[in-house]
Structure 1
Amino acid sequence: MSLGNELRTVLRGTVLEAGDAGFEAARRPWNLAIEQPVLAVVEAAGADDVAALVRRARLAGLTITTQPSGHGASGDSEGTILLRTGRLDELSVDPAARTVRVGAGVPWGRVLEAAGPHGLTGLAGSSPVVTVTGYTLGGGLSWFGRRHGFASSSVRAFEVVDATGAQARVTAESDPDLFWALRGGGGDLAIVTAIEFDLHPAPELYGGRMLWPADRARAVLDAYREVTASAPDELTAWFELLQFPGAAPLVAVDSTFLGAGGDGEALLRPLEKVDGRISDSRGPLPVAELASITAEPTDPGPGRSRSELLTGLTDEVADVLLDRPIAPLLSVQVRHLGGALARPSDSAAGHLDEPFALHMFGIPGEDGGAAVAARQREIADALIPHTTGRKPFTLLAPGERAAQAFTPDALDRLRALKRHRDPRGTFRGNFPLLSGM
């Protein structure tokens, strides 16, 4: 009996293997530049299906890689069963308690649509189609992280299937070690089927994008440095160099402010003084329209990214970023961190001492992405005196390792938990904890 037919005997959901119609599409991750040579794809019908799959894989000595939507895939999935949890789509908001419960397949856009009418928000990032679960397991760098910390810090409970196939509710009281690890430690220790987390007040939200031609980049960066030097935790601003195919290069500042528009506008006044603005979309912003600021693609496509953590935005850093065009990259983005992200947290995500994150993105060409990778490496190498080598887990790229995201103590603790909780290696996260040992 083939693996697919064997799995169909114990699962209610869809099972696909090589040769089945739809298998090639089902195994693809969000980033189409990444190959996933998996043995089979399982689309679970519910948590019971997940538990049944884990029990069968454990008995057969097989490994499961879980991807709700395919975001964050690293390509480290060869020979695994790819589990899709998109059908676990429950969503329930409790406005009085300011909490929400979501299934593993729920994207952030749905959460914001449900929470916004109550004057509440979750700690979402820039994309509405990234799932809450995958994002939160990686820590989750939110627009509102400076005010409220990593998204993982807002979790109250996880519902999981462990490496024996048992279902459990994990809280700080019921299983403090696993609760600590799942808040930012990745998907290598258990399969999360649902999350309950705190929502945060957002009765007023202001934000949008300011855009200039690239010849104003240095003036914009100077103003951006002035804004971020004294920004309150409620304000988040991202500086971005853009080079869209067939268009002139641009420079943008994207921002959100948890508060009244007049206050947010005043905080961004130094940027308004930079002349030559092409457009300015800032204004009162419904929570559900948060993704409109950057308008990231909502369909899969190929890409190559690289991120670094910056110790500051010195003149030397500015020179590296601005002295040459970013082509063939599509974007080079600097995110302001600090605030609550820099404060200690009792989670695997920990905290970030670095005040800025650099994120570089390009679309691979006919050379398979070699030119994009070379330009990213050139920028990163030039910035070595101003980077720490650590990378946020949620911004790891294919070819990088989980070890780069954690402090040595946190990594040791996570690896000990992996050996204890999953000694047979039934689970393989996108970035395995034991990789490179």
Structure 2
Amino acid sequence: MTKGKNMNIGDELRGVLRGTVLTAGDEGFEQARRPWNLAVEQPVRAVVEAADAEDVAALVRHARLAGLTVAAQPSGHGATGDNDGVVLLRTGRLDDLRVDPVERVARAGAGVKWGRVLEAASPYGLTGLAGSSPAVTVTGYTLGGGLSWFGRRHGFASRSVRAFEAVDAAGELVRVTADSDPDLFWALRGGGGDFAVVTAIEFDLHPAPTLYGGRLLWPAAMAPAVLDAYREVTATAPEELTLWYDLLQFPGAAPLVAVDATFLGAGGDAETLMRPLEKVAGRLSDSRAVLPVAELGGITAEPTDPGPGVSRAELLTGLTDEVAAALLDEPIDPLLSVQLRHLGGALARPSGTPAGHLDEPYALYLFGIPGQDGGAAVRERMERLTGALVPYTSGRKPFTFLAPGERAAAAFSPADLARLQEIKRTRDPRDTFRSNFPVLA
């Protein structure tokens, strides 16, 4: 049967699955197919909410025989809309979570979000390598490498994976480890969702007996002084300290500048390291404190509900005077945020995963909300800023920072991309799986 020709896909899927199947015209279909970013349209043929891992396997076996393509999205973060006619697989019901504080390991089903992991690990003085949002799933984040608050100390989140539970392109339930299937294990640790449907991840937890963090906030007039201090601190920061610099413009509010921080250690040590920032006058607030790991998401307080957005990311080869001038040359409006993330540390060392390592010491992340113009003004402002920074950007981008219209090739070295493409051709010759950013595109 040829892809796209089955006119009774809903009935066929309901005949082989125990989970929920929705197609156009069904109540709830429009809501079910929406991604996290509501500015992205997903023209899928059907949405399946799998009952469990066996249901995922049944779907993949049917898709393989029927010539269908399956795109797995636990929560829809990272969606691009490049899924015309596919079957959208939701794995929210695969929500089992187990934490072993003795072995310092967790097993999270594909529907588990980082907030739950942190809550479960926090009482034991442990943490997973989570990012800024508690609403992102462990699976989607880790398949893309996973840039964590603690990446400078422990590297990419994918590097901490011990095993994947997955459904392969033949529809078989498999446990994938470095010993059982080294090629597939390598590909899944940062190569995206092109190779199998991951139903659960087993990964290392890391010690975090004391976590200090929070946000320092100033009026935008202090942005140059804050950036100077940020450059001074990050130039010699130990791997336990991570700082993000944010230019902020919230609707209806005065522009602001912030520095968000985490430190794996005592607050007094962090304050000593951050003293140049404390010397900047005019500080409006300072939320830094010793925190339980469970409160990590509160540092940046990102939205925990879906909404529309436009983003763009670049990796900076340095934070020179010229880069600083370009960032501060004019107000960021209509963008909401221009963020610098300090990288380096373990992220700059070989990871043994497709995420490789990051030679670039800083990541730039731009975000805005599309207006009535569909986001044209936001994109134009992003183009202007990134255009000014071209001499100081590498062209590479972390996989989880890719935006609609960009290609997976930007996230990998040529050798790693070629290896991923060969694994895709060998393991999924019928193209049953569709990543948000396919490696063969």
The TM-score by the shorter chain falls in which range? over 0.9
Partner of 2:112: 106
Residue pairs, 1:132-143, within 5 angstroms: 132-143=138-149
Measured in 2, the distance between the counterparts of 1:287 and 1:298 equals 18
Partner of 2:55: 49
Structure 2: gaps spanning 5 or more residues: 1-6
1:225 alignment partner, SS class:
helix
Partner of 1:215: 221
Measured in 1, the distance between the counterparts of 2:292 and 2:76 equals 28
1:204 matched to 2:210? The reply is yes
From 284, 292, 297, give the equivalent of 1:286. Answer: 292
1:250 matched to 2:225? The reply is no
1:168 matched to 2:174? The reply is yes
Partner of 1:304: 310
Residue pairs, 1:119-138, within 5 angstroms: 119-138=125-144
Partner of 2:266: 260
2:366 alignment partner, SS class:
strand
1:15 alignment partner, SS class:
strand
User: What amino acid does structure 1 have at the position aligned with 2:316?
Assistant: L
Measured after TM superposition, the shift of residue 52 of structure 1 is: 0.3
Partner of 2:101: 95
User: What amino acid does structure 2 have at the position aligned with 1:220?
Assistant: V
Measured in 1, the distance between the counterparts of 2:162 and 2:408 equals 24
Measured in 2, the distance between the counterparts of 1:194 and 1:228 equals 36
Measured in 2, the distance between the counterparts of 1:187 and 1:377 equals 29
1:83 alignment partner, SS class:
strand
Measured after TM superposition, the shift of residue 323 of structure 1 is: 1.2
Measured in 2, the distance between the counterparts of 1:210 and 1:33 equals 31
For residues 68-124 of structure 1, the C-alpha deviation after alignment (integer angstroms, 9 at most, x for no partner) is 001110111111000000000000000000000010000000000000000000000
User: What amino acid does structure 2 have at the position aligned with 1:434?
Assistant: L
Measured in 2, the distance between the counterparts of 1:135 and 1:367 equals 31
1:110 alignment partner, SS class:
helix
Partner of 2:409: 403
Measured in 2, the distance between the counterparts of 1:284 and 1:265 equals 11
From 331, 336, 354, give the equivalent of 1:330. Answer: 336
1:412 alignment partner, SS class:
helix
1:375 alignment partner, SS class:
helix
User: What amino acid does structure 2 have at the position aligned with 1:380?
Assistant: T
State the Cα RMSD in Å: 0.5
Structure 1: gaps spanning 5 or more residues: none
For residues 378-401 of structure 1, the C-alpha deviation after alignment (integer angstroms, 9 at most, x for no partner) is 111110000000000010000000
User: What amino acid does structure 2 have at the position aligned with 1:81?
Assistant: V
1:192 alignment partner, SS class:
strand
For residues 146-195 of structure 1, the C-alpha deviation after alignment (integer angstroms, 9 at most, x for no partner) is 00000000000000101110110000000001111111100011100000
Partner of 1:185: 191
2:43 alignment partner, SS class:
coil
Identity of aligned residues (%): 77
Measured after TM superposition, the shift of residue 64 of structure 1 is: 0.4
Measured in 2, the distance between the counterparts of 1:77 and 1:258 equals 40
From 344, 365, 385, give the equivalent of 2:350. Answer: 344
From 56, 59, 68, give the equivalent of 2:65. Answer: 59
Measured in 2, the distance between the counterparts of 1:269 and 1:194 equals 42
1:357 matched to 2:384? The reply is no
Measured in 1, the distance between the counterparts of 2:382 and 2:244 equals 19
User: What amino acid does structure 1 have at the position aligned with 2:295?
Assistant: E
Measured in 1, the distance between the counterparts of 2:50 and 2:19 equals 5
Measured after TM superposition, the shift of residue 2 of structure 1 is: 1.8
1:423 matched to 2:429? The reply is yes
Measured after TM superposition, the shift of residue 265 of structure 1 is: 1.1
For residues 218-276 of structure 1, the C-alpha deviation after alignment (integer angstroms, 9 at most, x for no partner) is 00000000000000000000000000001110000000000011111111111000000
Measured in 2, the distance between the counterparts of 1:220 and 1:382 equals 21
From 375, 379, 390, give the equivalent of 1:373. Answer: 379
Measured in 2, the distance between the counterparts of 1:375 and 1:65 equals 32
1:9 alignment partner, SS class:
helix
Number of residue pairs the alignment of both structures matches: 435
Partner of 2:3: none
Measured in 1, the distance between the counterparts of 2:320 and 2:184 equals 40
1:56 alignment partner, SS class:
helix
Measured in 1, the distance between the counterparts of 2:284 and 2:306 equals 29
Measured in 2, the distance between the counterparts of 1:267 and 1:396 equals 32
1:156 alignment partner, SS class:
strand
2:201 alignment partner, SS class:
strand
Partner of 1:224: 230
Measured in 2, the distance between the counterparts of 1:48 and 1:261 equals 47
Measured in 2, the distance between the counterparts of 1:369 and 1:164 equals 41
Measured in 2, the distance between the counterparts of 1:312 and 1:215 equals 23
Measured after TM superposition, the shift of residue 280 of structure 1 is: 0.4
Segments of 4+ in structure 1 off by > 4 A? none
Question: TM-score with structure 2 length normalisation?
Answer: 0.98
Measured in 1, the distance between the counterparts of 2:377 and 2:440 equals 31
Measured after TM superposition, the shift of residue 5 of structure 1 is: 1.1
Residue pairs, 1:143-154, within 5 angstroms: 143-154=149-160
Measured in 1, the distance between the counterparts of 2:82 and 2:254 equals 37
User: What amino acid does structure 1 have at the position aligned with 2:333?
Assistant: A
